[in-house]
Structure 1
């Protein structure tokens, strides 16, 4: 069965600021495409497929009240320590998921105003 999520887009008001934020917090690089009225910074491929992008367009409006997606990170403490330094705000600190020893989660507001989750095994 295919993954349930085909692709996600995180809206940005300032694409360069959002790229800097996510590069720092997730220690990753992006491939940027500019089509004039729409710009996207693609997350690295996983098993040959790009899972999503940071997107800018006149009609995209970041919101802390929209759908919550959670991104995997290697080290929760390291990623969270970079959130506020890069213009974000932690709204739920590292929290143990009690069901079936599934790891940890946290939630932050990114540099654009989106509510985003993090997930880590430890």
Structure 2
């Protein structure tokens, strides 16, 4: 079976600021492309497939009330310590998932005002 998520886009009003936020929090690099009325910064490929992008367009509107995407992070505390430094806000601190052996989650606002989830086994 294919992975359930085909592709995701996280809207941004300031693509450069959003890329800096995600690169800092998750310690990853983006491939940035500018097509004039649309700009995208692609997340690194996983198994040869790009899972998603940060996207800018005049019609995109970031929102804390939209879809919640949870992204894996290697070290939850380290990632959360960077969130506010990069213009985000922690909404739900590191929290143990009640189901056994399911790890931890947190929810924060990114630099653009989108809610994102962080997930870690540790």
TM > 0.5 between the two?
yes
Secondary structure in structure 1 of the residue aligned to 2:82: helix
The answer to whether structure 1 residue 25 and structure 2 residue 31 are counterparts is: no
1:78-89 map, 5 Å = 78-89=78-89
1:14 equivalent in structure 2: 14
Runs of 4+ displaced beyond 6 Å: none
Secondary structure in structure 1 of the residue aligned to 2:100: helix
Q: Report deviation, 1:39.
A: 0.3
Task: Give the TM-score of the pair, scaled to structure 2.
Answer: 0.99
The answer to whether structure 1 residue 77 and structure 2 residue 73 are counterparts is: no
Distance 1:103 1:68 in 2: 18
Distance 2:27 2:13 in 1: 21
1:50-69 map, 5 Å = 50-69=50-69
Aligned-residue RMSD, C-alpha? 0.4
Q: Report deviation, 1:101.
A: 1.4
Q: Report deviation, 1:100.
A: 2.3
Unaligned runs of 5+ in 2: none
Secondary structure in structure 1 of the residue aligned to 2:81: helix
Task: Give the TM-score of the pair, scaled to structure 1.
Answer: 0.99
- Equivalent pairs, count: 122
Unaligned runs of 5+ in 1: none
Distance 1:100 1:37 in 2: 46
Deviations 1:66-102 (A, max 9, x none): 0101000000000000000000000000000110210
